[in-house]
Amino acid sequence: MNTKSVTAALAAAAAATALFVTGCSDNASSTPAKSSAAPATQAKTTPSGDSSASVDGKQLAAKFTTTCAKQAGTLALALTDTANGTYGNLSVSATITGTDTVQAVGIAGSKGGDSGQPYAVGFGNGMPGGSAKLTKDGNTYKISGEGVGAPDLTNPLAGPKTSKFDVTFACSSVVGG
């Protein structure tokens, strides 16, 4: 897989997960979207409390908002900080199916990557180059593992790098769950 497709796959996975979760969040200043699908319960976003994320042992300094929603056996978790000084629009997301299968983890920032590029680390179940493990305590979900980071475009022969991540989603509640 070439570096452009890895970067595109990471960005797409992070964006899709963030959009799924954001689409379920409650934003009082917006009008709900019309849909022909059955109505879904809307998730409430809350200040993060104990939610956190670290990559390669370095804590991401952020003022996260946490969103947690479950629908049809899929749990979507998201941490967002839309005005992060280091990463710009920072989102950390995970999708879990069944009781403990981590399908995807995405950590993405609109800035803060190598050589002025966006920041991205991602894991996708079944894709090479990563792993993820879930532990749960009530409505707190901890996911740790290893993901593939966006390659340094100034050195494309180096290929994508791997990064260890630890994410805690402290959900005040799980809508639909």
**pLDDT band per the 50, 70, 90 thresholds, residue 150:** confident
**pLDDT band per the 50, 70, 90 thresholds, residue 156:** confident
Give 31-36's long-range contacts (Cβ < 8 A, gap of 24+): none
The answer to whether residue 118 sits within a structural domain is yes
Place of tokens 């022909």: 36
Burial class for 20, CB neighbours closer than 10 Å (0-12, 13-18, 19+): middle
Q: Which two tokens stand for residue 18?
A: 């963030």
The answer to whether residue 36 sits within a structural domain is no
Report pLDDT for 49: 61
**Digit-coded pLDDT (tens) for 75-123:** 999 999 999 999 999 999 999 999 899 999 999 999 998 888 899 999 9
Residue 29 has pLDDT above 70, yes or no: no
The answer to whether residue 35 sits within a structural domain is no
Report pLDDT for 120: 94
Report pLDDT for 30: 33
The answer to whether residue 32 sits within a structural domain is no
Q: Within 13 Å and on the Cβ side, how many CA atoms surround 171?
A: 25
The answer to whether residue 85 sits within a structural domain is yes
Domain extent, residue 91, equals 3-25+45-170
Q: φ, ψ for residue 115 (rounded to 5)?
A: 55, 35
Q: φ, ψ for residue 7 (rounded to 5)?
A: -60, -45
The answer to whether residue 30 sits within a structural domain is no
The answer to whether residue 39 sits within a structural domain is no
Q: How many domains are contained in the chain?
A: 1
Residue 128 has pLDDT above 70, yes or no: yes
Query: DSSP class of residue 87?
Result: T
Residue 35 has pLDDT above 70, yes or no: no
The answer to whether residue 155 sits within a structural domain is yes
Note the pTM of the prediction, 2 decimals: 0.74
Instruction: State how far Cα 172 lies from the chain centre.
Output: 18
